[in-house]
Amino acid sequence: MKKIILITVLVLITLYVLKQKVYKPYAWKKAINSKEHQLQLGSFIFSKQRGSNGSQSYENRYFVFKVTEINGDFVRLSVVRQLSQNKVIKSGDFSTTSEAYKQLKKTITTLTITPIQSTDLYHGDGPSMTVNPYLVSKYPKITDSRYYYEDIPQKNRPVPTDIGDLSYYLSLVYSKKEIIERGKLIPWGLNNSETPELLTRLSEDIDLIIN
């Protein structure tokens, strides 16, 4: 009996390793070369990430990103999120729920998602990132859907040389090569250096890319 259990466990481990090391990389490379799932400006990237829930345990967190800039190996992402409305505050780490994540996979290409300049999110009366007359006037499509992402006014600008500007520039910037070849979000950042480098310890898996 113990021998059967041991064999079963070994078979399961072998199948898991094959799935992770062989099948998943093959499936990813096949998908990334298709028109519907290739990385490009405007792509939506879905990522299910493991994170602490504030105690000693972990939970899944679900993120949807919009590709707003591709500059060499720098891929800039913006979180797709919802504006707050009528005292219902959308805050925290801007992750979404499991159900909303599944629904967005089905509707993301037909849903109205408004690009909003980050400075505009702090204009108007009331709390920031909240539907108000100013935003409705400048971005009337938010009345169709409160989903939005922060857009940037100038794309493919030169990489800053000032250390403070460079740190800000690298916010939510990931490696194009790692996305395409490995299906992972690995951020560019500064690690006790004035030269950008890949922060591999912060790697997160990509679930899906949709165009």
Q: Domain coordinates of the chain in residue numbers?
A: 34-210
Query: pLDDT at position 115, please?
Result: 95
pTM for this model (two decimals): 0.85
Q: What is the reported pLDDT for 56?
A: 65
DSSP of 46-108, one letter per residue?
EEEEEEE-SSSSEEEEEEEEEEEEEETTEEEEEE-EE-BBTTB---TT--B-HHHHHHHHHHT
Per residue of the chain (211 residues), give pLDDT as tens.
666 776 766 666 766 655 555 556 666 776 677 889 999 999 999 998 876 666 666 788 899 999 999 999 999 999 999 888 776 655 555 788 889 999 999 999 999 999 999 889 888 777 778 888 999 999 999 989 999 999 988 888 888 888 889 999 999 999 999 999 999 999 999 988 889 999 999 999 999 999 9
